[in-house]
Structure 1
Amino acid sequence: MNAHSIFLLSLGCSKNTVDSERLIRQAQHCGFTFCDEAAQADIIIINTCGFIADAKQESINEILAAADLRRNGSIKALYVMGCLSALYSRELRAELPEVDRFFGTSDLEAILQQLGGRIKPDSLHERTLLTPPHYAWLKIAEGCSRTCSFCAIPKMRGSYHSQSVGELEKEALMLRERGVRELNLISQDITRYGWDLEGRSMLDELVRLLAGTGFPWIRLLYAYPQGFPLEVIDTMNSLDTVCNYLDMPVQHISDRILSSMNRGMNKAQTIQLLNRIRERNPDIRLRTTLITGYPGETREEFEELLRFVRELRFDRLGCFTYSHEEHTTAWEHLQDDIPQELKQERLQELMEVQESISAEKNRHFEGSRLTVLIDDVDGTTAFGRTEYDAPEVDNECIIDIGDTACAPGDFCLAEIIDTTAYELHGTAIRKL
C-alpha cells in the first residue's frame, strides 16, 4: 500500500467535481489516502477552472499558495489539472517551476501513473463523492461542439462525446446503491446528448431509463436552447421522479448579440421555445443564465434584455458580466468595449428586476404544502430544497422541524408560511 497522503482541491463547476471524485476513488484503490487540510498532505493536486477571469484568478491564487508549500519542502509534490491547466500549460510551466506536472481535463490515467498507481478499469465509474451523500452529479457527456463566441470550453475539454446509455445506467445504479436520492444530470450541453452516438437526440431515452433506477428526484441541468428535444418535457410532465425543473441558459435576447454569440437561434425562436416548454408543462420552473456587457451592447439592447426578463418571468435566474477570454472568437474579432463598472451596473439592474419577480413567485407558495429534500439540520432548524431548486444555486427552504426526526437526505412535507425572494420558510408536517 502507498503511504502518501493527498490533498485535492477541486475548483469550478460540477463537471470538474465529477472528475475530482473519479480521481479520488481511483487513487484510493491504489492505496492513497486523502486529507482535509493541505498542511497534512504529502501531495497537493489542484483541479482548476479556466472559464472566466475570476475563476482563473482563484485557480492561480491557489496554485501560488501551494507552490510556496512545495518550495519550502512542506509537501513532496504539486500537480495541477483541469481547464486552466489544459489551456495554459505552457505559460504556467514557465511561471511556476514549483509545479511538478500539469495535466489536462482527461488525464486520469496519466495522473495515476505519475502518482505511481494505475487505473482500475472495472471500477472506472466509481466515485468518492465531494457532495453531501444524498445528491450527486451524473456527467452524461464530455466536451462541447458548440461554437459560442464567448466560450473556450471546446478548447479546454475537446469536442462533444456522449457517454453510453449502458455505462450511465451502471454509474447511476452505483450511486443509488450508495444512498444518493437526487441525481442531477449534467454536461456542458445535455441537449446534444446522443447525436455523436446515433445521429439523433437520446436525452429523452436516457431520462426515461434513469427514471426507473429508483431515484426519488432526477434533475436536468445545462440544456442548450438550439435543438432541445421537447419530448423530454412531456416525460417530465408524466413521471413523478423527474423534477419539474429545467436549467436552460439563453445568455441574451437581442438578435444582433445572439448572432454575434453564435447561439444558433434568434429572439423569436428563443421565446417560442420557452413558451412551448411552459405550455407542455405548466408546473415547470425554468432557470436561465444571462450575460451583461457583451461587446457592443447598447443601452437599447440592454433594455431589450430587461423587457425580456420582465415578460418571460423566469423562476430562477443567474447573471454574469461578460469576460473577454483568450482562445475565443470574441477575443479574436471583438473589442471588449463596455467598461467593467457599467457591466456590473447592468448586472445589478437586471438582478433587481429578477429579485422582484422571484419574490412575487415565491409568495404563491405561502400556505401551500411542499415536499422538501433536507440538506442540513441545525438543532430544530432544517435547510433544504424543493424539486424546483437545484443544489448550490437556487432557493433554500428553511424549516422548523420541532420534534420531527429529520436528517440530511430525508424528504419531509412542509407547510410554507413565509417567503423572501430567495428563501421559503415553513414548518415540518411529517417525514416522508
Structure 2
Amino acid sequence: MNEKQRLASQQIKQPNSTDVKSDANDNLDRLKQMSSDDLISRYFQTTYEPPNMRKAKKRLKKDVDIHYDFEIPEEMQNIGEGKKFMIRTYGCQMNEHDTEVMAGILTQMGYTSTDDTHDADIILLNTCAIRENAENKVFGEIGHLKPLKTENPDLILGVCGCMSQEESVVNRILEKHQFVDLIFGTHNIHRLPQLVQEAMFGKEMVVEVWSKEGDIIENLPKQRKGNIKAWVNIMYGCDKFCTYCIVPYTRGKERSRLPEDIVQEVRHLAAQGYKEVTLLGQNVNAYGKDFDFEYGLGDLMEEISKIDIPRVRFTTSHPRDFDDRLIDVLSKHDNLLDHIHLPVQSGSSDILRVMARRYTREQYLELVRKIREAMPNATLTTDIIVGFPNETDEQFEETLSLVEEVGFESAYTFIYSPREGTPSARWEDHTPMEVKKERLQRLNALVNQQSADTMKKYQGETVKVLVEGESKKDPDVLSGYTERNKLVNFRGPKSVIGEMVDVKITNTKTWTLDGEMVESAVEVN
C-alpha cells in the first residue's frame, strides 16, 4: 500500500470533516509548492497512465461482461450530505445521458444538484472532443473556475468525458491546470464514487483514464431531466473509424446492451408516464452486430413498438448499417417515428472514400429511395462537413446537389476540424479557410431555404405537439415538438405541459412554427 492509499484508508475508516478540510488545504499547499515538471513526473510514477490512441484502436475479440451489481461503497453513501454538485455538459445526447448517470450516482451519495458554481462542492465538466471549438470552450471554463478553487480549497473540480480520453488534453491539464482535482474518461463513469473518494482523501490529482473500453454496467442510477422525454442508451462505441472522427478512440468499440435490459428500461419509463424515448448509440443502427445471435435494431424496435409509449426515436444512424429490416419495422408502427437523422457528411463519392465512410453517393441515394418508398412522409435530416482536406469546387457542388435531391429539412453543418490522433489530421490541406467559409455560407443558405419551404406547408394544418414547457423566450408561451421534430410555440394553460395537444399552425418561420391550441384535443391520461 503506497502512502496515498494508506492515508485514504485511514481517513475513510473514521471520516472527520475537520480533518478532511485540513487535508484538502494541505494538499493545495503541496500542489502550489511543486513545479509542473515535478508534478507530472510524480503522476507518471504513481497514479497516471496516459490515454493511448494506439491502444484505443485495438479491437480485441474479447467478450464484454455485463454487470448488475453496481452499488455505492458503504463509506461513500452519505458523504455528500449537506453538499451540492454541478455538472456542465458539452456535446451530444450521449454526453447528456452520461451526465444523467453521474448525477444519479452523486445523488445516491447524498449530494444535491445546483446551478450556482459558488454553491457547488463538486463541479464536473463533461466534455466533447468532436470539434476544436468544443475543446476551447472547456479550457476557457477551466480558467474561469480557478478562482473558485482558490476561494474554496475543499471544492472538487473534475474534467471527464471524451476530451479526457485524449493524451494531449490530459497532458495540458497536468502542465497548466494543476488545480484540477480529478480527470476520468468515458469508460469508468461507474467508478465515480471511488474517484471522488480518492480526490477527497488523497494527496494528488486523481487521473484514471482507460484507453480501452470496459464492461457494460446495467443498474447505474440516473437523474433524468424532467418526466416527459427520456434517453435510453442501447449501445456504446463505434467501429467505423472514419478518417476525421475521434469517437472510436474516445468511446471504444461497439458494445450492445442485451435486448431484455433495454425493453425493461423502456417499460419502466412508460409506467412512469414518459411520452417519448430516444434510443442512443454512437452508431445506433449497428446495434446487435456484436452479438453471437442474430438480432438487430429492427428487431429491438419491433419489441419496443408494443410498449405503451407514444413516441420512439433513435439517433445517430450510419447509412452503411441502415438495413431493410429496420425500414420495414419503422413503416408499420405508429409510435416509431419516421423522423430519421441520417448523416451523409458529403455528396461526393471521392470525398466519402477518403473519409472512409464506405458508401458512395449512389448508395446513399438508393437508401433514401427505399426509405421514401416505405415511408412517403418521412422527414430526413443530416450532418455535413464542408472543406474536408483538399475538397474541390466540383466535389462541394456535388454536396449541394445531393442536399437538393434528398430534400433535407434541416442539417448540422460544419467546417472540417482536424482532431489530433485521427488520420486526416496528418494530411496536408491546400483549401484556404476563406473558401471553406464561403462554401459553408452557400450550404447553409440552401438548407435554410429548404427548411423554410417545408415549414410553409404546415400553414393552416393541425399538428400533434408534445408540450415540453415554457418557451425560452417568453414564459407565457408554451413550446413542444411534433412527431417530425418541428418546434411549435403557442399559448395555452400550464396544465397541458407533458401532454399531447393539437395545435393549428398560424405562422411559419425558417425553423419554428407558431400556432393556436385546439383545446378539445387535450389528451386525458
TM range (shorter): over 0.9
Q: Is it true that 1:254 corresponds to 2:254 in the alignment? A: no
In 1, the alpha carbon distance for the partners of 2:189 and 2:220 equals 12
> Deviations for 1:67-125, whole angstroms, at most 9, x for unmatched residues?
332234365221111100111323322221111121011212332112239xxx99824
1:201: Cα distance to partner?
5.0
Question: What SS does the corresponding residue of 2:338 show, helix, strand or coil?
Answer: strand
Q: Does 1:385 align with 2:486?
A: no
For the residue of structure 2 that corresponds to 1:22, the secondary structure is: helix
Which residue is equivalent to 2:41? none
- Which of 273, 282, 293 does residue 376 from structure 2 map onto? 282
Alignment of 1:112-123 (within 5 A): 112-116=193-197
User: Does the alignment pair 1:342 with 2:431?
Assistant: no
The residue aligned with 1:37 is 116
Residue 158 (structure 1) shift = 0.8
Q: Which amino acid is the alignment partner of residue 168 of structure 1?
A: I
Query: Structure 2 matches for 1:8-407, cutoff 5 A?
Result: 8-73=87-152, 75-87=154-166, 88-116=169-197, 124-130=219-225, 132-198=226-292, 200=294, 202-332=296-426, 334-377=427-470, 381-389=477-485, 395-401=486-492, 406-407=495-496
Give secondary structure in 2 for the equivalent of 1:127: coil
Q: Distance in 1 between matches of 2:155 and 2:452?
A: 52
Q: Is the 1:325–1:331 contact (alpha carbons within 8 Å) kept by the matching residues of 2?
A: yes
The answer (yes or no) to whether the contact 1:41–1:75 under 8 Å persists in 2 is no
| Match among 483, 489, 497 for residue 408 of structure 1 | 497
What CA distance in whole angstroms lies between the structure 1 residues aligned with 2:84 and 2:219? 21
How far off its partner does 1:142 sit? 0.8
TM-align CA RMSD: 2.0
Query: SS of the counterpart of 2:248?
Result: helix
- In 2, the alpha carbon distance for the partners of 1:428 and 1:102 equals 48
The residue that corresponds to 1:392 in the other structure is none
How many residues align structurally? Answer: 420
What's the offset of the Cα at 1:405? Answer: 6.1
| CA 372–238 in structure 1, closer or farther in 2 if over 3 Å, else same | same
State the SS of the aligned residue for 2:148. helix
Which SS does the other structure have where 1:112 is aligned? helix
Alignment check: 8 A CA contact 1:152 1:327 kept: yes
Q: CA deviation at 1:202?
A: 1.1
Q: Quick check: which has more Rg, 1 or 2?
A: 2
Does the Cα contact within 8 Å between 2:410 and 2:448 map onto a contact in 1?
A: no
Alpha-carbon distance change, 164 to 426 in structure 1, aligned in 2, over 3 angstroms: same
Give the partner amino acid of 1:70.
Answer: K
Describe the SS at the equivalent of 1:183.
strand
- Aligned in 2, Cα 1:62/1:411: closer, same or farther, shift over 3 Å? same
Runs of at least 4 residues off by over 6 Å? none
TM-score normalized with structure 2 length: 0.76
Opposite residue 223 of structure 2, the aligned amino acid is: T
Task: Give, as a single letter, the amino acid of the residue that structure 2 aligns with 1:400.
Answer: R
SS of residue in 1 equivalent to 2:368: helix
SS at the partner of 2:319?
Answer: coil
1:425 to 2:425 alignment: no
State how far apart, in whole Å, the 2-side matches of 1:418 and 1:5 are. 44
| Alignment partners' CA distance in 1, 2:139 and 2:258 | 35
Letter in 1 for 2:196: L
SS of equivalent residue, structure 2 residue 413 = strand
Deviations 1:159-201 (A, max 9, x none): 1111111111222233333332110111111111000013655
**Aligned partner letter, 2:222:** R
Residues 478, 490 of structure 2: 8 Å contact kept: yes
Q: Is the 8 A contact 1:285 1:316 kept in 2?
A: no
